[in-house]
Structure 1
Amino acid sequence: MATNSIKLSLIFLLTIFITSKAILHDQLKETNMTLYFQDWSGGPNATVLQITGHQDHGILSFAKFGSVFVTDDPITQAFDKNSAEIARAQGIYVTSALDGKISHVLISIIFTNNEYKGSTLEIQGASPQFERVREVAIVGGTGKFRLARGYATFETIHFDLAIHYVVIQCNVTILHY
C-alpha cells in the first residue's frame, strides 16, 4: 500500500514538472534579426584595436596566435554606414588556435534604439574567422532578451582594405522570455 502511495506521489510530481516545463516553453518568444556591424580597424575613428600581438605596417594580425582585440562597433539597421545605429557591439576577440584559424569571441550587443534600448545579447564561442559564414552561440541576454539563448551567424559582406573598413552582417535567432 505504501509503495503504491509513493509511486502515485512520484507520478503526480513528474506530471507537475512536465506541465510546468511545457507552460514555460510556450511562453518563449523567438526573435530573428539582421544587424550590420560597421567595423573600422584603422584611422582616427577605429572601432577595433589590437591589444597584443604583432602588427605589420598598421595591419591587424588576426591570424597570429595570442592576438587580442577590443571592439566597440556601431551596429546599424542596414548595410549603409549612414543608416540608423540601433546598437553597439562591445567586447573582445582572441586568436585562440595555434594555426590562427579560430578566434574566441566575447561580444555584448547593447541596444540603443527605442524598441530594445538597454537590452543586451551576450555572444560567446569559437569562430572560424576565415570561413565565409561563422556561427557563434548566444548564451544570455538582459532586458527584453532576458534569459536569451540561440545563435548568431556572421558574414563579412564588404571589405575595403584601403580605408580599413569592413561590414559584417549578423543574423540572430533568439529564444527568450
Structure 2
Amino acid sequence: MASNSIIILSSLIFLVIFTCSKADLGHPKETKMTVYFQDYSGGPNATVIEITDQSIGLLSFTKFGAIFCTDDPVTEEFEESSAQVARAQGIYVTSALDGSNTHVLISIVFTNEEYRGSTLEVQGSSAQFERVREVAVVGGTAKFRFARGFVTFETIHYDQTLHHAVIQCNITVLHY
C-alpha cells in the first residue's frame, strides 16, 4: 500500500513540474531570416576541408564516405564584405553511394549583437545536386531555445578560380 502511495505521489510531482515548466515557456515565437554562407573550398583561407583525404587538389564532394569540416563566415548580405552575423561550423559526410546526398551537421553560431551566444542546430540529408536543399533545424540555444524548423540552402554564386561559393540560407524556426 505504501508503494502505491509513493507511485501516486511521484506521478503527481512529475505532473506539477511538467505543467509548470511548460507554462513558463509561453507561446513559441517564429523567426525568419536570410543569411549567406561564405564558403571557400580551396586556397590559403579555405573554410571547408576534406578530412578523409588530405591530397592536394579539388575536393571530392561526390565520393561516398568523404567527410568534410567547415567553419564558414555567415554574412548579413550576399557580399563577403557585408557584416558577419555568425559562423557555420560543423561537418558533413557524402552519405549516398552515388554521391547525390550529404548528411549535414552544422551549428550556426551567432556572433552579432542581436543573437550573440545563440545557436541553431541543423541536421539532415541534403540533396547536393538540387538547386534548393532543405534540412531540418533540430534545436537551438539561448534566444533560439527549443528551436525547431527548417533551413533551405541555395548556392547562388560560385567562383571556380577562387573556390568561393556563396550559399543563401533561408531560416524558419519556432522557438521560446
Measure how far apart 1:24 and its partner are.
8.0
Report percent identity of matched pairs: 67
Aligned to 2:95: 96
Q: Name stretches of at least 5 consecutive residues in structure 2 with no aligned partner.
A: 1-18
1:69-123 per-residue CA deviation (whole Å, 9 max, x = no partner) reads 0000000000000000000000001000000000000000000000000100000
* Counterpart Cα distance in 2 of 1:42 and 1:167: 14
Matches within 5 A, 1:50-69: 50-53=50-53, 58-69=57-68
Matched, 1:30 2:30: yes
Q: Tell me the amino acid that sits aligned with residue 72 of structure 1.
A: D
* Counterpart Cα distance in 1 of 2:102 and 2:84: 26
Q: Tell me the amino acid that sits aligned with residue 117 of structure 2.
A: G
Summarize the Cα distance change of 1:37–1:23 in structure 2 as closer, same or farther, 3 Å threshold. same
* Counterpart Cα distance in 2 of 1:24 and 1:107: 29
Contact 1:54 1:61 in 2 (8 A): no
Matches within 5 A, 1:163-174: 163-174=162-173
Q: Tell me the amino acid that sits aligned with residue 39 of structure 1.
A: D
Q: Name stretches of at least 5 consecutive residues in structure 1 with no aligned partner.
A: 1-18
Matched, 1:124 2:123: yes
* Counterpart Cα distance in 2 of 1:126 and 1:24: 34
Aligned to 1:141: 140
Aligned to 2:75: 76
Aligned to 2:104: 105
TM-score scaled by structure 1?
0.84
Contact 1:53 1:66 in 2 (8 A): no
Deviates more, 1:24-33 or 1:142-151: 24-33
Aligned length: 158
Measure how far apart 1:53 and its partner are.
3.9
Contact 1:109 1:122 in 2 (8 A): yes
Measure how far apart 1:25 and its partner are.
8.9
Measure how far apart 1:175 and its partner are.
0.2
Q: Residue 117 of structure 1 aligns to a residue in which SS?
A: coil
Matches within 5 A, 1:155-170: 155-170=154-169
* Counterpart Cα distance in 2 of 1:50 and 1:107: 15
TM-score scaled by structure 2?
0.85
1:115-162 per-residue CA deviation (whole Å, 9 max, x = no partner) reads 000100000000001110000000000000000000000000000111
Measure how far apart 1:54 and its partner are.
7.3
| Alignment root-mean-square deviation, CA | 2.0
